[in-house]
Amino acid sequence: MVQFSQVFLKDTRYIEKIVLALTEDMSLLTFVEVGPGEGVITRELLKRGATVYAIEVDLRLVDKLKKDLELKLVMNRRFFIYHADFLKFDMGNLPSPIRFFSNLPYAITSEAIHRVISYRDMFHDVHLLLQKEVVDKLLSESTYLSLWTRYHFEIERLFNVPRTAFHPIPKVHSSFIRMKPKKRLLNEQGEKILKRILKQAFKNRRKKLKNALTGFKIPQEMSEKRAEELRLEDFIRIAEVNR
C-alpha cells in the first residue's frame, strides 16, 4: 500500500539522467536526499563516491533501506538515514555546504519549497523532481511562490519526466529542475517586507496595486498595475521604498 502520496521513479533511463545531472558538478558530492524511497538514486550516488544524508518519513522504507546489503556497506560512513518528516526536520546539524535533492510528493510541494528557501544559505545547489505544472509556474513570474523562489534561486528546467516513468503512475507529468542560490539583494528586514508585499499583492491579484497593497508606499508608475503585470525587480523596488 502506498502512503504519503509517494510515487517511485522506475524508468532506468530517467534514473540515469538524474544521476548524471547530480554528478555533473564533482566539486561537492555531499547530498541531503529527501524521500529516498527505495533508494534507486541513493545507490547510484554512493557508487560515485558521494555522501548521502537521507530523510524518509515512511518507517517501512527506512527499515528496508537499513537492511539493504549494498547500503549497509557504507552506512554511518557515507550513508546516513533519518526517519523524519522533512517539514519538521532540523537540517542545522547537517554539514554545510551541502547539495539538496528530492522527488517531492505533490501534496507537500509548496510547503517543501518554502522549507528549502528557509535553509538556502547551506545549499550549494538544489535539484527537485516536481509536477510539471508547478515548474511551469515557478519559471513564470505569475504567482507568489514563483517570485519568492526566484528571488532566492536561479531556476533551470533540465528535462521533463513522463508520468509513465513512475509507479504507481501519477495523473501528471514531472520536470527535473536545478536551483542555484542567488546573491541577496535585500537585507533581512527588506526580505521580510518583500515577502509580505508578494503575499498581499497576489492575495489581491485582481486589484490594482494601489488597492491591493494598502499600508505600503507604491511608486506612482506601478500603482495602476496588478500583481501579475509586475516583474520580480519591480517588487524588489517596492520593498526598498518601504524599508
* In the predicted structure, residue 1 carries a pLDDT above the cut 70: no
> Which domains, ranges and CATH numbers included, belong to the chain?
8-181 (3.40.50.150), 188-241 (1.10.8)
In this prediction, residue 170 carries a pLDDT of: 92
CB distance 210 to 159 below 8 Å: no
Task: State the average pLDDT over residues 66-85.
Answer: 95
Mean of the per-residue pLDDT values for the chain?
94
How big is the CA angle at 186 (ends 180 and 191), to the nearest 5 degrees?
85
Please report which confidence band the pLDDT of residue 4 belongs to, taking 50, 70 and 90 as the band edges: low
pLDDT for 180-190, tens place per residue? 999 999 999 99
Contacts of residue 15, Cβ cutoff 8 Å, sequence gap at least 6:
9, 40, 41, 44
Tens-place pLDDT, residues 139-172: 988 899 999 999 999 999 999 999 999 999 999 9
Closest CA to 111 of 170, 57, 63: 57
The contacts found for 217-222 with CB under 8 angstroms, 24 or more apart, are: 217/241, 217/242
Residue with cell 499583492: 201
**Overall average pLDDT of the 27-33 stretch:** 97
